[in-house]
Structure 1
Amino acid sequence: MIRPLCLATLALSLAACAGTATRADPASMRGDHATMFTAQRTSLHREGDDLLTAGLGLAGLQAMTPPTFADPQRPTAAEARRRALWANWRGIADLAPGGGYGTLYGSLANVPGREFHALATVPGASQPHRVLVQVPDDFDRTRRCVVVTASSGSRGIYGAIAVAGAWGLPKGCAVAYTDKGAGTDYFDADAGLGIAADGTPADDRATSVFAPGGTSQGVALKHAHSGDNPEADWGRHVRQAAEFALQALGEAWPDDAPFDFASTRVIAVGISNGGGAVLRAAELDGDWLDAVVAGEPSIHADAPGARTLYDYTTEAALLMPCAQLALDDLPQPPLTAQVAPLWTARCAALRADGLIEGNDSAAQARSAREAMHARGWTDGALRAGALSTGFDLWRAIAATYASAYGRFDADAHPCGFRYAAQGADGAPRAATPPERAIWWSDGSGIPPGAGVGLVDTRMAGADPLLPGLQCLRALVDGDDASARRVQAGIAETRAGLPRRGLPVMVVHGADDGLIPMAFTSVPYARWAQAAGRDVRLWQVAHAQHFDGFLALPDYAARYVPLLPYVYAALDRVDAHLDGAGPLPADTAIATTPRGPGKALEPAHLAIPR
């Protein structure tokens, strides 16, 4: 059921209530703008089609192949949703046998209920973000609670199901999601088709959720090509998702309406980019948010030691392949024998450009490692970063973010990157209907993946990726028009302080090799604490960025999952709001890796109690 609707919503400021100690009255928070919730639809999820797993359960989520479509070209909305849940659970959580999910921590409970979907647009943006609210049938109307979240990475609307849904739904809370202006609403410019509001392939441009202008060929991505620099609005995306939750609760339980921020507990939680998004929400005016838990957040504060995502990502893309040759005992994969020739070529290229020193590959690798140490990288982050290097993740992230920050069209990337389906020879080609059918469910929001490739038009030489990477890196401090556009976009993403008195817990893995805590959580927390904000930091030893990759035996042996600590932090802030104890102090958590072939046990985690 689709219905457009314009509702007056709560303003982003609380000028009328400044100086009061009581919870804000939403009536006093209304401003002169309205949030447009369009393309609204509802769906029931009961009797074998629950909110958390769409009826797949643990066994279905552990299956190595995704749920299939009856018609490979035209999935139903239910089929697309089920497959999206499968992909997003596996991308975020360690569901492997022995990993402890569902036994030591986390929940895959069968939670029946309803989903409320819509599109929302923040003031000034040209493209919408998706919002979704899951309302369990056993929503606790006597203790109203909403868990609001944002997808990790650039994932689609179900990208935080394993983070917020798994904690909130079994507790009787409604859970509100946003894809924060990114997501998997890809647009096929060759065919003129995108993704419809229900997650199925659109019939035409007009019914596509994302339909950019200025794109003549290939594939366009909402994160990269919306023209909105969505990261600058992450906090407002979260706020609008929370507003939509109040509307959805009023529809679900009309006899208990109205639902408002004054009478409903709202806790924000997210990991990675979702963690950054909820920290950005924490800085918004108004007493609408009760607590925040941010796991491994991508956040940039104006504080000593802080670095922007684009700065350290492009640095890693260039230097890390060479630097990792100077480290023993890298986790596998990548297979060292396969990547060593490529990484050795990178060392030689960096030496030729004068970026490192050394007359042989060993000396060059040591020089690259020392250069990264000097810029704040630890050996733990370098070692865990081997997976990102092996999967070429640094280049994929940098290409997408350069386009987003500079607000470039899909045909106008300053370094010549494009996105398209590719033939066996890597040449761009038109996408097929079965390929388009899986984009929404299988995509991560940042290709390559789900049949969409990253096309590098600058590839050349012994290290063919180097020219494109050098171009991406030059945007950090260059002075041409493209670099200034990217730098202006980055400046728009700088974080502000959280609202005074708002409880905030930050949880980060000490070995995070994708979003190192030395550049993000640590400077943010210290800066906020120095300003008198109620921010607590848990630093988790032997935890890296990707719980989903703990299914790889070598990663499982070396690292502990981060999700148990995010759930524990949520438990602690929830109890604190109930008056059942103070927030925990800053803590360095001494975990114990489980070792090869062993199951995870509580003693390995050492979760603070």
Structure 2
Amino acid sequence: MNRSPALLPLAGLAAALLLAGCAGVAPRAPDLEAGLDLKTYRDGDDLLTAGLGEAGLRSPAPPAFANPDAPTAQELRRRAVWTNWRGIADLAPGGGYGDVYGQLAPVPGREYHALARLPGRRQPHRVMVQLPDAFDAQARCVVVTASSGSRGIYGAIALAGAWGLPRGCAVAYTDKGAGTGYVDTADGRGFALDGQLAEAGEPVEFSVPRAAAAGGIAPIAVKHAHSGDNPEADWGRHVEQAAAVALQVLELAHPQAGPWTHDNTRVIAVGVSNGGGAVLRAAELPGDAFDAVVAVSPNVLAGDQGRALYDYGTDAALWMPCALNAAAYDGVVLARPGGAKSPAGATRCASLKAAGLVSADDTQAQAEAAREHLLAGGWTDAAVAAGVLSSNFDLWRAVNVTYASAYARTGPGDMPCGYSFAAMGADGVARAPTAAERAAWWSDASGIPPGSGVGLRDAMASGADPSLPGNACLRALWDDAGSAVRAGIEATRAAPPRAGLPVIVVHGADDGLVPEAFSGGAYARWSEAQGRPVSYWRVRNAQHFDAFLGLPVLGMRYLPMLPYGYRALDAAWAHVADGAPLPGDADIATTPRTFKEGALAPLARENLGVMP
């Protein structure tokens, strides 16, 4: 790797903007924390695979650190790229990636990192621009994206990077105010742009003061939960600011082809999951920053339609463990290990009975009542069946805790319902993080604990159903219309896309984490009613997590979503670059893979159905 330690000064960026303002419409200069950190990746390293190549990305083992207590910046970047590819894409043998859809060829080029801050916000969001050596200055193509979930800056590389970089597009990323720069409040040290623990005075992607120890252990601060900014309310502006940084980078890197403005450069915004919600929020902003928007499995609260993630997430955390014991889900293998009903589900049914929420005495009848409760709230059986992943892995509680803290703008020591994050041993007891755990947070974490050695402390846990009191407390914050949590959620409500903006929304019909009836489908119906129609593609037999499809029990039931995201990007680019008609709505019929003689059949194009 040819590393350039140069930090491009803010004065140079300001000059570039002045030049851009001489012709066309220049974007407003973002408030950058220190400038642009530039590195070049060639000769065994690259933008798309971090030098791992196809074989390295497909390896189930992450790239190792020579010294786990003090990994190098190069090792951390490589590990972060591996982690985020593996967290989003199905790279398992037979999954179809690289054969049926997608490509993993290395892409050499330059990578720019910066910390940008929205006016009036406490914390910056991290921005990255990848500029391939094969950038096509004639096509003038920029792809802007936001990380999925609460991931770090590489959290959309498998969607936006994998589509844009091989086509010679610049790709701009934002972590949208979340990310994996966790902080141990025992000393308050944050992470620098290179993923290493920062030295005193060095810019960091997230900072909090030291905090008092609870039970002798200081809490871990997580940016999405503890930024104090309710970042979800600003997702669209984060995306818009990343687009502005991309044009600055192009002005610096290709001044001879300048000026680089919204008037003469095509910009497509794309995201998946929370990133999909972010680009839809960007779609509503005034101006001409974006020429088209593609949202895959978006988490978005559409006006007065659908349901907020926190609403259905807290509801599911209480009711879904019991409901999954209903007869309708007897064929859901993950809900029936060995074919038996879930003992934890039966315990939850008993808890609901004791709380007066179900009236039946029989455990099976209680499960049926819990299922009916979810269906009455708009869930489908297909979404509940896929929701077993979130239920069995306790993902609902993890998400709800993080979002409650973000909405209420609390710190790491005063989170709602007595929760906190801390390093955990195998015995579940909080302790100080090890040097190796802490060093790997930036590259390995998902942005929402538990994971990477950080666990969830539940001060309300008690009884035979220990998670119930805390889950009930989180639900009560939704039920209280005057709570700080409800106020934070209201600030995230979307507006329609601006008139004339091409928008494609793609959602899996079986999504069990962000059900399409509550989110993508609701947004499409609502936008149509507001006189701002979007193209809506509903994909049958598809859920939220492509990365889990290497498991035969899921691979034989569901299709990946990434192929449809890539196809939507193809269609959007053909529309804005060549004037091709934008595809209309589609209900895409698919055929799941078969399982024969102890093996799952490889994915074929025929499985994916006919794409628009």
Shorter-chain TM band:
over 0.9
Kindly indicate whether residue 317 of structure 2 is the aligned counterpart of residue 312 of structure 1: no
CA distance in 2, matches of 1:421, 1:492: 32
Choose 191-200 or 100-109, whichever is displaced more: 191-200
1:4 deviation in Å? 5.4
Aligned to 1:106: 102
In the TM superposition, residue 169 of structure 1 has moved relative to its aligned partner by 0.4
Judging changes above 3 Å, is the alpha-carbon distance between structure 1 residues 115 and 206 closer, same or farther for their aligned structure 2 residues?
Answer: closer
Taking structure 1 as the reference length, what is the TM-score of the superposition? 0.94
- Number of residue pairs matched by the alignment: 590
Aligned twin of 2:279: 278
Structure 1 counterpart of 2:377: 375
CA gap of 1:38–1:335, structure 2 versus 1, over 3 A, is farther
| 1:326-345 correspondence runs (5 A) | 326=326, 327-332=329-334, 335=337, 340-345=342-347
**Aligned position for 2:430:** 428
Q: Which amino acid aligns with 1:456?
A: D
Q: CA deviation at 1:193?
A: 1.9
Which residue does 2:63 correspond to in 1? 67
The answer as to whether partners of 1:130 and 1:157 remain within 8 angstroms in 2 is yes
> Which piece of structure 1 moves more, 551-560 or 213-222?
213-222
**Residue pair 2:8, 2:38 contacting (<8 A) in 1 also:** no
1:161-560 → structure 2 map (5 Å cutoff): 161-204=157-200, 207-213=203-209, 215-216=211-212, 217-304=218-305, 306-326=306-326, 327-332=329-334, 335=337, 340-478=342-480, 484-560=483-559
Whole-Å separation in 1 of the counterparts to 2:125 and 2:289: 21
Q: Could you tell me which amino acid in structure 1 is paired with residue 367 of structure 2? A: A
Amino acid at match of 1:346: R
Per mean C-alpha deviation after superposition, the further-off stretch among 62-71 and 225-234 is 62-71
Alignment of 1:50-61 (within 5 A): 50-61=46-57
Say which SS state the counterpart of residue 90 (structure 1) adopts.
Answer: helix
Note the residue ranges of structure 1 that are not aligned, 5 or more in a row: 12-23
CA contact (8 A) 2:89 2:158 kept: yes
Render the CA deviation track for 1:117-175: whole Å, top value 9, x for unaligned. 00001112110010000000010011101000000000000000001000000100000
Structure 2 residue 4 is the aligned partner of structure 1 residue 5: no
2:336–2:342 contact (8 Å) kept in structure 1:
no
The answer as to whether partners of 1:155 and 1:444 remain within 8 angstroms in 2 is yes
Q: Deviations over 1:519-572 (max 9, x none)?
A: 111121111112222411000000000000001111111000000001001111
Aligned counterparts of 1:208 and 1:325: Cα–Cα separation in 2: 47
Instruction: Check 1:394–1:205 CA distance in 2 against 1; reply closer, same or farther (3 A cut).
Output: farther
SS at match of 2:10: strand
Q: Is 1:599 matched with 2:606?
A: no
The separation in 1 between residues aligned to 2:427 and 2:553, in whole angstroms, is 32
Aligned residues of 1:74 and 1:201 also touching (Cα < 8 A): no
Query: Structure 1 vs Structure 2: percent identity of aligned residues?
Result: 58
Q: 2:111 aligns with which of 94, 111, 115?
A: 115
Q: Which runs of no fewer than 5 residues in structure 2 stay unpaired? A: 1-5, 18-22, 213-217
Cα distance in 1 for partners of 2:201, 2:74 equals 22
For residues 404-461 of structure 1, give each alpha carbon's deviation from its aligned partner in whole angstroms, at most 9, with x where no partner exists.
0000011001211111101232121111111111100000000000111111111100
Q: Secondary structure at the match of 1:372?
A: helix
| Preserved contact between residue 576 and residue 583 of structure 1 (Cα < 8 Å) | yes
Residue 213 of structure 1, CA deviation: 3.1
TM-score, with structure 2 as normaliser: 0.93
SS at match of 2:39: strand
Quote the Cα distance in structure 1 between the aligned partners of 2:105 and 2:424: 40
Distance 2:388 2:447 in 1: 22
Alignment of 1:25-44 (within 5 A): 25-27=24-26, 30=28, 34-44=30-40
The letter of the residue matching 2:270 is: V
Residue identity matched to 2:349: C
Q: CA shift at 1:330, angstroms?
A: 1.2
Task: Find the aligned partners of 2:402 and 2:256 in 1 and give their Cα distance.
Answer: 46
528-537 vs 285-294, greater mean Cα deviation? 528-537
Q: Secondary structure at the match of 2:37?
A: strand
Deviation (angstroms), 1:99: 0.6
Partners of 2:276 and 2:299 within 8 A in 1 = yes
Map Cα deviations across residues 96-124 of structure 1 (whole Å, 9 max, x no partner): 11111011111112110000000001112
Q: Distance in 1 between matches of 2:9 and 2:485?
A: 35
Deviation at 1:249, TM superposition (A): 1.3
Correspondence for 1:19:
none
After superposition, the Cα gap between the structure-2 partners of 1:424 and 1:579, relative to the gap in structure 1 and judged at 3 Å, is: closer
The alpha carbon displacement at 1:5 in A equals 2.1
Listed one character per residue, the Cα deviations across residues 189-208 of structure 1 (whole Å, up to 9, x for unaligned) are: 12332211211122347553
Q: Is the 8 A contact 1:151 1:158 kept in 2?
A: yes
* 8 A contact 1:529–1:535 mirrored in 2: yes
Shift in Å at residue 586 of structure 1?
0.8
